Amino acid sequence: MIGKRCLVILFGALLAGLGFACGAQAQQQKTPIIGIPHDWQMGFAGPYTPVMAKLESLHDLLLVIITLISIFVLALLLYVVWRFHASRHPTPTTTTHNTVLEIAWTIIPILILVVIAIPSFRLLYFGDKAQDAAMTIKVTGHQWYWTYEYPDQGNFAVDSRILPEADRVKLKPDQPRQLAVDEEMVIPANAVVRIIGTAADSMHGWTVWGFGIKKTVIPGRLNEGWIQVPKEGIYFGQCSQICGNAHAYMPIAVRVVSKDEFDKWAAEKKKAAGLMPATSVASAAPPANR
Ligand SMILES: [Cu+2]
């Protein structure tokens, strides 16, 4: 009887342990991935977006092409050094032209450039404009912080500043020093987000590693790009355009969350900004002058 009870208790403890382990795992899965460079990293960060995936494959193609060209040129040089050495070739040749050779060394490089240009232009146009964007975020670069406006989410804005150095002891594990900010850009996972960028003072560069986006933002102009990040997590970037003495201290942090979490966050920001929900704005609007 006692043995049976012991067995039941043991089984219960085992189940509880399993449940705890699963809970811990679920908790662990919720921990955001941090898109930051790591020690001994060899390749690019990511790819975290479709543009970056295509950018990486273009890079790989170019790496193959330039490696083959470099090996070919090196082999030619070594052959010339060996073949036309004074000991093997005492009387220099008087040849000045070779039509076949000249056509070949004009046509082949043109073909190589065309092979490079086709995927390059395709990628340029792919990353240029968002197709069927779910939302738009306007990025404004300031000396030395970023403002993110959400015009189609109630038109609220957040200012994103680096967390001060003095506070680094308080930084959480997902807040790397010199990269963590007080207000991240928050976007829903999988959504196509159109980024339009401008600057308020000098030029800045909105660049996030692994996103394949590097938008130079210029006062008086709007530059467009887009991102679509399937994986939830926090991703980091930095200003990539020298913009003054705190250029190194205006990092970029993008938090990718579920749609529900994003809606909750947007509602909070709207409330904090004193903005009414879209429906009451429409009903409360004064009649238009006719
Ligand atoms: Cu800068």
Residue 265 lies in a domain: yes
Asked whether residue 3 is assigned to any structural domain, the reply reads no
Residue 139: what pLDDT? 96
Reading the block at residue 78, the tokens are 């070594």
Task: Give the environment of ion ligand 1: residues with CB less than 5 A.
Answer: 204, 239, 243, 247
Is 92 part of any domain?
no
Q: Please give the distance, rounded to the nearest whole angstrom, from the Cα atom of residue 152 to the centre of ligand 1.
A: 27
Same domain, 191 and 80: no
| Predicted TM-score (pTM) of this structure | 0.76
Residues 264 and 141 in one domain: yes
Residue 167 confidence (pLDDT): 58
The per-residue pLDDT for 106 is 96
Shared domain for 244 and 174, answered yes or no, is yes
- pLDDT, residue 154, reads 85
Distance 223 CA to ligand 1 centre (A): 16
In a domain, 68, yes or no: yes
Total domain count for the chain? Answer: 2
pLDDT for 5: 56
Asked if 139 and 65 sit in the same domain, the reply is: no
| Sequential DSSP letters for 204-222 | EEEEETTTTEEEEE-BT--
- How far, in Å, is the centroid of ligand 1 from the Cα of 110? 38
Say if residue 206 is in the same domain as residue 168: yes
Distance (angstroms) between ligand 1 centre and the Cα of 254 equals 17
Predicted confidence at residue 19, as pLDDT, reads 45
- Do 269 and 139 lie in one domain? The reply is yes
Cis peptide before 105 (omega within 30 of 0): no
Cα(92) to ligand 1 centroid in Å equals 57
Specify whether 114 is located in the same domain as 158: no
User: How close is the Cα of 61 to the center of ligand 1, in Å?
Assistant: 31
Claim to verify: residue 124 and residue 143 sit in the same structural domain = no
Give residue 124's domain range: 50-86+103-128
Do 199 and 261 share a domain, yes or no?
yes
How far, in Å, is the centroid of ligand 1 from the Cα of 193?
Answer: 23
213 falls within a domain? yes
Burial 92-106 (b: 16+ CB within 10 A, else e): eeeeeeeeeeeeeee
Beta strand spans in 135-263 (E): 135-142, 145-150, 156-160, 185-188, 193-199, 204-208, 213-217, 223-227, 233-239, 252-257
Residue 246 Cα to ligand 1 middle (Å)? 7
User: Residue 149 C-alpha to ligand 1 middle, in angstroms?
Assistant: 19
Structural domain includes residue 13: no
Domain final position from 94, 128, 162: 128
Q: How far is the CA of 144 from the centre of ligand 1 (A)?
A: 7
pLDDT in tens, the chain (290 residues): 445 554 455 455 444 444 444 444 444 445 476 777 788 888 888 899 999 999 999 999 999 999 999 999 999 999 999 999 989 888 888 889 999 999 999 999 999 999 999 999 999 999 998 889 999 999 999 999 999 999 988 889 999 999 886 655 677 777 788 888 989 999 999 999 999 999 999 999 999 989 999 999 999 999 999 999 999 999 999 999 999 999 999 999 999 999 999 999 999 988 888 776 555 444 444 444 43
CATH number, residue 197: 2.60.40.420
CA 33 / ligand 1 centre spacing (Å): 25
203 alpha carbon – ligand 1 mean position (Å): 7
Residues 6+ away with beta carbon under 8 Å from 204: 141, 142, 146, 216, 217, 239, 241, 243, 250
| 3-class SS string, 13-32 | HHHHHHHHHHHHHHHHHHCC
* 186 in any annotated domain: yes
Give the side-chain half-sphere CA count within 13 A for 227: 31
Say whether both 111 and 162 belong to one domain.
Answer: no
Instruction: Determine, yes or no, domain membership for 11.
Output: no
Task: Specify whether 172 is located in the same domain as 218.
Answer: yes
* Cα-to-centroid distance, 260 and ligand 1 (Å): 33
Mark whether 115 and 245 lie in a shared domain.
no
C-alpha 20 to ligand 1 mean position (Å): 46
Contacts of 40 (CB under 8 A, 6+ apart): none
